Structure formats: C-alpha cells, structure tokens
Amino acid sequence: MNYLRTIALSLSLFLVGLVGPIQAQLQMNFYANTCPNAEKIVQDFVSNHISNAPSLAAALLRMHFHDCFVRGCDGSVLINSTSGNAEKDATPNLTVRGFGFIEAIKTVLEAQCPGIVSCADIIALASRDAVVFTGGPSWSVPTGRRDGRISNASEALANIPPPTSNFTNLQTLFANQGLDLKDLVLLSGAHTIGVSHCSSFTNRLYNFTGRGDQDPALDSQYAANLKSRKCPSLNDNTTIVEMDPGSRKTFDLSYYQLVLKRRGLFQSDSALTTNPTTLSNINQLLKGSVDSFFSEFAKSMEKMGRINVKTGSAGVIRRQCSVANS
C-alpha cells in the first residue's frame, strides 16, 4: 500500500510539473477576462501622444531591450532607488527615456483595472505600438509577464551590451539571453531609428586605443564630419547624433547599408562586419525587401520579449512602476 501511495504521489508531482509551466506561459490576450481593454488602452495612449513625440518609438524600443537583458523582461528598469543603485542609475540607462510615459499609461490602467496589468507588459506593448505608429514593423506581444522587485545597477552594467562592444562581447552577452547571431543582427537593426549622445562613440573619434587616435574601422570622411559638425571634443556629453543619418525617422534597411560602408556610429555596429556569419546575415537582409526585414525583425523581437519572464505566481504586479514595493 505504501508503495502504491509513493507511485501516486510521484505521478501527481509529475503532472503538476507538466501543468505548472503550461499555465504559466505568456499568451495572447492574457488580460481578456481580467482587463479586457488593457491592450487597447495602451494602444490608444500611444496613438494619442506619439505624434507629439515620435522619437519615443526608438526610446521605448531601447527601454524594452534594456529591461529584458537584465533579470528578464520584468519591468525592473523602471524602478527608482533612493541610494542610486537601481538599473536606471547604471551608465547604459542614464540616457534611456520614456519612464514617465510608461508610468502615465500605468496610471490609466490602474484606474480601469487596479493591480492587474504589469509594468513589464506595458513596456512590451507600448514599444511595439510606438514603432508601428511611426511606420515600423509590428510583432506579436503575448502578455502575462509579472514584475520584478529587484533592480541593481551592477547587473545592468554587466548585462547590457555597451556601444563599445567588440564582436566577442556582443556574441557572449546575446548568448547569455538565449539570442543567436541572427538575433544580434536583426535587433541591431533597431538603430535605423533614433539618436545617440556623442559620449557613446567619441572614443572612436579621438582616443580609440588610448593614444589619441581614431578607429581605423570608421570611414575617415564620416569621422571628419562627426568631428567638425557634431562632436567637437572627447568630453561632449550632451550633443545628440542620428544613428541612421538622413533616415532616422524611417524604419528601413539603410542602417545596414551604412554599416557596410563603415559608417555605423558605434563600435558595436562595426563589429557586425568582423564575423562571417553576421556579415552574411546583413548581406542577405540587403538582398531582400523591407517587408522581409520587418518579418525577421518581428521574430527576434518576439523572442527577446520572452527572455526570463516571470509568470504565474512568480513576481508581482506593481501598482506604481517606479516603486519596487508598490
């Protein structure tokens, strides 16, 4: 009899193990019963405001990326710290914008459905909607993410790929998140919209190896233009520069064309040409259509949006996105 009880217990635990993860997965229209208008509320808010600040599309996309690369897509990038050691206090996040925008959406959702919709899902939905409303690709955003309560600056610094990354560093940091080289190339394509601060790349112009030199992998004419018209000194921390000059408001393939011309703004852009696989991926994208790029980009965004998500009973639903224990 004890033997039979042991078998029954083992079987029940096995079945729980099977059912648990299935119930805890992200799913389309996760809030259909608990907050039916959740996704429309996010979409309408983005639609009503993005025309006044179209640059937010790139900013929210970057926020989503930075959130997912640290502790998974759990909204921890939004948390404030009184001691200055949260993710948003780390160097990679000092120029991230859109925190107030996400909090404003959260306020509307809390008024409609208190304690239901996670901050992590708001980032995922709003970044997609903002890109779509500015003419970029759409992608599926399954929901059901829950929020984290831990946010460490040191983890952001260790996990978010810096613009000074070489290929090896990029490959490692993406692989750590379950992303491959194709994802690396496609997600880098987000640099087709938006701007950067001079401080993210002036080492390439003025002090690449610590000897006051210029990065030889950067087109010399482009470098001269950046020095004379954009970033006149190594210490410029305020001037902003288009990542895809002449096309920064259009989600297209021109970023990849510039990378092949050695006119990618960051060292990490240039690094994509130093590996045969990523270089081949770029050439394949350029042989195809913009629609094909959109389709492939969408797949990588969906994959990124699932990184280490908290679902089911893991995590919490923060009532205020900037407060860990709200």
Residue numbers belonging to the annotated binding site for Ca(2+): 67, 70, 72, 74, 76, 87, 192, 244, 252
Tell me if 264 sits within 8 A of 185, measured CB to CB: no
Q: What are phi and psi of 209, to 5 degrees?
A: -115, 15
Q: Provide the pLDDT for residue 214.
A: 96
Q: Which residues contact 99 (CB under 8 A, 6 or more apart)?
A: 63, 78, 88, 321, 322
For 263-301, write each residue's pLDDT tens digit.
999 999 999 999 999 999 999 999 999 999 999 999 999
Distance CA(76)–CA(166), nearest Å, equals 27
Q: Which residue has 């001269």 as its token pair?
A: 224
Domain 37-194+243-305: which topology?
A: Peroxidase; domain 1 (1.10.520)
Does the pTM of the predicted model rise above 0.85?
A: yes
Q: Where are the domains of the chain?
A: 37-194+243-305
Please give the Cα distance from 133 to 301 (Å, whole number): 17
Give catalytic residue positions: 66
Binding site residues for substrate, as ranges?
Answer: 161
Determine the angle formed by the axes of helices 276-287 and 290-304, rounding to 10 degrees: 130
Are 123 and 54 spatial neighbours (Cβ–Cβ below 8 Å)?
Answer: no
| Distance (Å, whole) CA 309 – CA 95 | 25
Distance CA 245, CA 266 (A): 13
- Residue numbers in the known binding site for heme b are 191
Q: What's the pLDDT tens digit per position in 192-228?
A: 999 999 999 999 999 999 999 999 999 999 999 999 9
* Segments of the chain with pLDDT less than 70: 1-24
